[in-house]
Amino acid sequence: MGFHKRFITKYHILENIDRIEEFLDADALILDSWSSNFVNDLNKEEEVLRETIKSELKLSSGCPSSHPKYHELDSLSETLISLNLDPTWLDVHFTKSKLNIQTALELSGKFEEQVELCKSEIIKYYETA
């Protein structure tokens, strides 16, 4: 088997976010700064925690931050993946809280628009992180 290296850019990650683990599987990764920030923030344990919280909140109403394990969430990379694959209010609420995003009143209750806003803000965040 040969040495496998891969050059990864922001574009590559965003276009392949549905299979990110497979995409990052290489002996060596050459990353641009955005991708480096994204990869350094990945946290597999948090992916599992996020899914647990989502499952437990599925039939409840109220703010996701009331879940006892909500404050263990920290990864915007895992949030961006979730916003692209299976978005929930948990992802929206976490992003807005973590990045201190104030949503305009006209977006209140508009899930799809807030998901897009959160994805855009996370992408911008990694450009300057």
Q: What is the pLDDT of residues 43-93, one digit of tens each?
A: 989 999 999 998 888 877 777 888 899 999 999 999 999 999 999 999 999
Task: For residues 77 and 20, state if they share a domain.
Answer: no
Q: What is the pTM of this model?
A: 0.89
Rounded to the nearest 10 degrees, how much is the dihedral formed by the CA atoms of 94, 100, 104, 108? Answer: 20
Task: For residues 25 and 68, state if they share a domain.
Answer: no
Domain total in the chain: 2
Task: For residues 93 and 109, state if they share a domain.
Answer: yes
Task: For residues 54 and 35, state if they share a domain.
Answer: no
Query: In this predicted structure, what is the pLDDT of residue 75?
Result: 97
Question: Looking at 15-19, 39-43, 58-62, which range is the least confident one?
Answer: 58-62
Task: For residues 35 and 72, state if they share a domain.
Answer: no
Q: Which amino acid makes up residue 76?
A: L
Task: For residues 23 and 79, state if they share a domain.
Answer: no
Task: For residues 98 and 63, state if they share a domain.
Answer: yes
Residue 121 domain boundaries = 46-128
Query: In this predicted structure, what is the pLDDT of residue 129?
Result: 76
